[in-house]
Amino acid sequence: MKVLKNFASLIVMGLGVIALIVFLSAPAVSLTGKVTDTITNYNGWQVAFGYTSTNTVLGVSVDVEVLKASALAIIALVLVVGGVVMALLSMGKKPKRLFILIGVVAFVGAAILMFLSAQGISFVEKRESIESLYKIALGAGSIIAGILNAVAAFFMLLKML
C-alpha cells in the first residue's frame, strides 16, 4: 500500500495520458444504420473538434461538414489535462490536499463527460433526422478513457490517505 501511495502521482499521470490518447484515437462514438447495417465510427478528435468529409463527385472535390465541435468533449479533454497537472503539482513528500481534491474532481468529471460523449455529439443536420436513420452508441474509446479516468481519480484519492 505504501509503495502505491509513493508512486500514485506517476500512476495518475500515466493513466491520464493514456486516457487522452485512447479517447482521441479510438472510436468514441459509433453510428449504426437502422435500415442498412452500416457502421460509422468517429474518434474523440473528430467528436471534440468537428469533422469535415471530402467527397469527390464527377471529378470535383466537395467538402461536407459532418460533425460540429462538441463543447462536452472539449471540456472533458481539458479536465483530463487539468487532472494530470494537479497530479504533477501534488508530487512530493507533503502534497497539498487542495491539489489532490481538484485532481479527483477533474478526473471524475472527465470520466462522466466521456461516458456522455454520445449524447453531446453535435451533428450538422438535425439530431432527430440522424437518430431516425442511425442508432448512436458509445465507442470503445469513450468507455476505456472513462474507466481510466475513474481509476486515476481513485489513485489521486489514495494519495490523500
* Whole-number pLDDT of residue 8: 85
The grid coordinates listed for 150 are 475513474
pLDDT for position 91: 84
Within 13 Å, how many C-alpha atoms sit on residue 113's CB side? 23
pLDDT of residue 136: 87
pLDDT at 83: 95
Supply 131's cell numbers.
437518430
pLDDT at residue 53 in the model: 82
Decide if 48 contacts 25 (C-beta within 8 A): no
Q: State the DSSP H helix or E strand holding residue 150, giving kind and residue range, or none if neither.
A: helix 140-160
- Into how many domains does the chain fold? 1
The full DSSP string for 10-46 is HHHHHHHHHHHHHHHHSEEEEEEESSS--EEEEEHHH
CATH number at residue 114: 1.20.140.150
Residue numbers of the domain that contains 133: 2-160
pTM for the predicted model, two decimal places: 0.87
69-90 tens-digit pLDDT? 889 999 999 999 999 999 999 8
Q: Name beta bridge partners: 63.
A: 54
Indicate the angle between helix axes 140-160 and 8-25, nearest 10 degrees. 170
Contact 148, 14 (CB under 8 A): no
**Residue segments in the chain with a per-residue pLDDT below the cut of 70:** 1
Contact 159, 98 (CB under 8 A): no
